[in-house]
């Protein structure tokens, strides 16, 4: 009997070992692909097959042997690329946007208000006490005028309505929201923000930058179930677009803890490189915990997002000289200049990366100067710090990025969205340092490309198209806007893969398809290196794989 039991146990152990090896050490070969990737040196390579064991690539090329293969997949000539890394987005903001009022398509203020009405009618049974939405852009409307509370009040909705501008740097609200926040004609604008008022001194319903917080702080924080719903919606959307990793630009302690719980429960399907919000009162405690990562490399927290100024569209970007179309306005500093030294020292002293939001040339100069001063204090932490957006930079300041090793984290579709108003705001002279991608690359800077979703659509092939053509979705203007700053497709792909990974200290595991790196890749419906640049934008993702697992199939 003992021998029988022993043999039974031995057979069971061997069976479990075999099952375990198939489940946790499975080798997959995908053949007959038309694959493109950069290598570690940044050279473009082409390959026809790739093999990976579990989550790690073991071979890439045209001919190789990897021993026993458990699964072989014939890609039938489809094009393979590394998984796209969006170096600047807002994960839960995207999820919320997918689940709330979207007014991006509105061609006028009245149409935007009607979209709100349509949403409310379609969600009549909603128990939500607030109506939240995003996406309006007055620059695209016939009169180009900022909206007012009057059009929202006309809906006769007895709930506060809060609609964020497409760039997230202004909100448009109704009177109910103003009343709830106690904003009246006598309420002063806060530092770094503006309560816009009419000729009679009454609030118009437009709150810019820090003034938005007067209302937004009253919006109930989403509970765990709502956060999970937002995360799931964002995960599904990004995977369908070929995005396998994103850098979340500014999260508070509550979201940081939520992400850690989701990572531990294997509920993160897109990698998140999260930046702690410098505005969170619990920042010192979060820094004290040190760098955070999970066993599957799905979550990394080792950086801080700080806020320099507002946005160009709402005239909140901080400029050295006044706005060309508003000569009394220099924009806004969201973080007062006198607070920058202590902020920079706190973050760099904790051995965290600092990613500083700067759109205007004044905000960029302040950040560069402060980095230089702080590097002298903490010489052990001078690598891979970033300026987020770096949209308008004084020409004489651009070389400082290379000298200091600061990474410009830029969003190609911002240029094609802003080209309708950028010259109005800046004049021709300042455009020489605006959206200057090729100038940065020519001096040897590494650019991390992203989209800033949901400010822009998350679609990375829109970003690749914009980077290469400097054109809108309609391929206008014909020769591109400031075409000398366009980049090659290889440079654009590098910005969305290798250099995006580099900007998150993850280029040792992500960004290229090479042996030893994570099996994050996508299959697409066209060869973007063999078609007209105008057709890149329409690329569709067929499959998305993360950690060697298929996460999306069209």
314 close to 363: Cβ distance less than 8 angstroms: no
Mean pLDDT over residues 143-147, rounded? 94
Whether residue 11 is predicted with pLDDT greater than 90 in this model: the reply is no
How confident is residue 14, by pLDDT bands cut at 50, 70 and 90?
very low
Burial of 224 (0-12, 13-18, 19+ CB in 10 A): exposed
Mean pLDDT over residues 437-460, rounded? 97
**Bridge partner list, 50:** 30, 60
* Distance from C-alpha of 129 to C-alpha of 424, rounded to nearest angstrom: 39
More confident residue, 141 or 15: 141
How confident is residue 18, by pLDDT bands cut at 50, 70 and 90?
very low
* H helical segments located in 514-554: none
35 close to 48: Cβ distance less than 8 angstroms: yes
* Distance from C-alpha of 121 to C-alpha of 113, rounded to nearest angstrom: 13
| Own/partner long-range contacts of 338-343 (Cβ < 8 Å, ≥24 apart) | 340/366, 340/367, 340/370, 341/370, 341/373, 341/374, 343/278, 343/306
Mean pLDDT over residues 84-91, rounded? 98
Q: What is the mean pLDDT of the chain?
A: 94
How confident is residue 127, by pLDDT bands cut at 50, 70 and 90?
low
The DSSP code for 453 is B
Residue 140 makes CB contacts below 8 A (sequence gap 6+) with 107, 420
Mean pLDDT over residues 376-391, rounded? 98
* Distance from C-alpha of 207 to C-alpha of 314, rounded to nearest angstrom: 10
Residue 532 makes CB contacts below 8 A (sequence gap 6+) with none
Max Cα–Cα distance, the chain, nearest Å: 98
Q: Which of 551, 488, 541, 554 is nearest to 518 (CA)?
A: 551
pLDDT for 163: 97
Q: Say what percent of the chain tops pLDDT 70.
A: 95
Phi, psi (rounded to 5 degrees) for 86: -95, 110
Q: Say what percent of the chain tops pLDDT 90.
A: 90
From the CB of residue 54, how many other CB atoms can be counted at a distance below 10 Å?
15
411 close to 460: Cβ distance less than 8 angstroms: no
How confident is residue 23, by pLDDT bands cut at 50, 70 and 90?
very low
* Distance from C-alpha of 322 to C-alpha of 308, rounded to nearest angstrom: 17
The DSSP code for 433 is G
- Which tokens belong to 106? 């509105």
Phi, psi (rounded to 5 degrees) for 92: -75, -25
Dihedral angle computed from the Cα positions of residues 411, 416, 422 and 427, in that order, rounded to the nearest 10 degrees: 110
Q: Which of 410, 409, 354, 359 is nearest to 382 (CA)?
A: 354
Residue 514 makes CB contacts below 8 A (sequence gap 6+) with 37, 39, 40, 57, 60
pLDDT for 436: 98
Mean pLDDT over residues 355-384, rounded? 98
pLDDT for 5: 44
Burial of 221 (0-12, 13-18, 19+ CB in 10 A): exposed
How confident is residue 123, by pLDDT bands cut at 50, 70 and 90?
confident
Mean pLDDT over residues 26-42, rounded? 95
pLDDT for 124: 81
pLDDT for 15: 41
* Distance from C-alpha of 342 to C-alpha of 392, rounded to nearest angstrom: 25
* Distance from C-alpha of 144 to C-alpha of 313, rounded to nearest angstrom: 11
413 close to 466: Cβ distance less than 8 angstroms: yes
More confident residue, 410 or 128: 410
From the CB of residue 397, how many other CB atoms can be counted at a distance below 10 Å?
17
Whether residue 132 is predicted with pLDDT greater than 80 in this model: the reply is yes
Which CA distances in Å does 353 have to 87, 249, 382, 384, 401?
14, 12, 9, 7, 15
Whether residue 91 is predicted with pLDDT greater than 70 in this model: the reply is yes
pLDDT for 252: 96
More confident residue, 346 or 223: 346
Whether residue 427 is predicted with pLDDT greater than 70 in this model: the reply is yes
CA angle (488 as vertex; 482, 491 as ends), nearest 5: 115
Residue 227 makes CB contacts below 8 A (sequence gap 6+) with 92, 255, 258
Whether residue 143 is predicted with pLDDT greater than 50 in this model: the reply is yes
Mean pLDDT over residues 488-506, rounded? 98
Mean pLDDT over residues 297-301, rounded? 98
Burial annotation 470-502 (CB, 10 A radius, 16+ → b, else e)? bbbeeeeeeebbbeebbbebebbbbbbbbbbbb
Q: What is the pTM (predicted TM-score) of this model?
A: 0.87
Which CA distances in Å does 429 have to 157, 394, 400, 410, 432?
46, 10, 20, 21, 6
């Amino acid at each position: 009997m003992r021998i029988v039991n022993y043999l039974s146990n031995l057979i069971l152990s061997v069976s479990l070992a075999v099952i375990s090896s198939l489940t946790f050490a499975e080798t997959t070969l995908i053949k007959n692909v038309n694959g493109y990737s950069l290598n570690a040196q940044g050279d473009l390579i082409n390959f026809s097959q790739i093999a990976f064991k579990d989550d790690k690539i073991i071979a890439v090329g045209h001919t190789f042997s990897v021993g026993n293969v458990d699964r072989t997949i014939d890609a039938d000539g489809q094009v393979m690329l590394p998984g796209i890394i969006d170096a600047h987005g807002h994960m839960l903001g995207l999820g919320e946007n997918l689940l709330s009022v979207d007014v991006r398509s509105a061609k006028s203020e009245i149409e935007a208000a009607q979209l709100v009405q349509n949403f409310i009618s379609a969600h009549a049974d909603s128990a939500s006490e607030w109506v939240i939405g995003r996406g309006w852009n007055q620059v695209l409307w016939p009169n180009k005028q900022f909206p007012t509370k009057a059009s929202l009040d006309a809906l006769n909705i007895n709930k506060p309505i809060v609609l964020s501008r497409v760039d997230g740097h202004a909100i448009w609200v109704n009177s109910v929201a103003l009343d709830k926040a106690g904003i009246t004609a006598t309420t002063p604008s806060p530092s770094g923000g503006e309560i816009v008022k009419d000729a009679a001194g009454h609030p118009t319903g437009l709150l810019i930058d820090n003034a938005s917080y007067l209302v937004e702080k009253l919006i109930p924080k989403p509970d765990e179930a709502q956060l999970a719903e937002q995360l799931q919606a964002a995960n599904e959307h990004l995977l369908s677009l070929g995005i396998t990793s994103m850098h979340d630009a500014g999260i508070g302690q509550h979201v940081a803890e939520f992400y850690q719980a989701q990572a531990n429960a294997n509920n993160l399907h897109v990698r998140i490189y999260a930046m702690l919000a410098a505005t969170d009162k619990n920042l010192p405690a979060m820094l004290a915990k040190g760098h955070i990562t999970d066993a599957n490399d799905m979550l990394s927290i080792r950086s801080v997002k700080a806020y320099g100024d507002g946005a160009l569209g709402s005239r909140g970007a901080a400029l050295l000289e006044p706005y060309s179309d508003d000569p009394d306005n220099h924009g806004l500093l969201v973080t007062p200049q006198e607070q920058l030294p202590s902020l920079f020292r706190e973050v760099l002293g904790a051995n965290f990366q600092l990613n500083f939001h700067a759109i205007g040339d004044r905000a960029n100069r302040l950040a560069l100067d402060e980095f230089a001063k702080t590097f002298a204090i903490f010489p052990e932490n001078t690598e891979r710090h970033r300026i987020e957006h770096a949209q308008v930079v004084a020409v004489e300041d651009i070389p400082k990025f290379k000298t200091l090793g600061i990474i410009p984290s830029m969003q190609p579709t911002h240029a094609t969205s802003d080209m309708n108003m950028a010259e109005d705001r800046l004049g021709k002279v300042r455009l020489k340092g605006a959206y200057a991608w090729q100038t940065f690359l020519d001096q040897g800077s590494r650019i991390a490309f992203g989209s800033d979703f949901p400010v822009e659509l998350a679609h990375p092939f829109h970003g690749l198209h914009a980077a290469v053509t400097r054109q809108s979705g309609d391929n206008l203007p014909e020769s591109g806007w400031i075409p000398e700053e366009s980049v090659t497709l290889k440079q654009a792909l590098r910005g969305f893969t290798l250099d995006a990974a580099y900007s998150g200290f993850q280029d040792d595991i992500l960004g290229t398809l090479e042996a030893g790196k994570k099996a994050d890749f996508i299959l697409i419906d066209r060869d973007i290196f063999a078609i007209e640049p105008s057709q890149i934008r329409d690329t569709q993702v067929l499959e998305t794989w993360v950690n060697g697992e298929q996460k999306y199939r069209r």
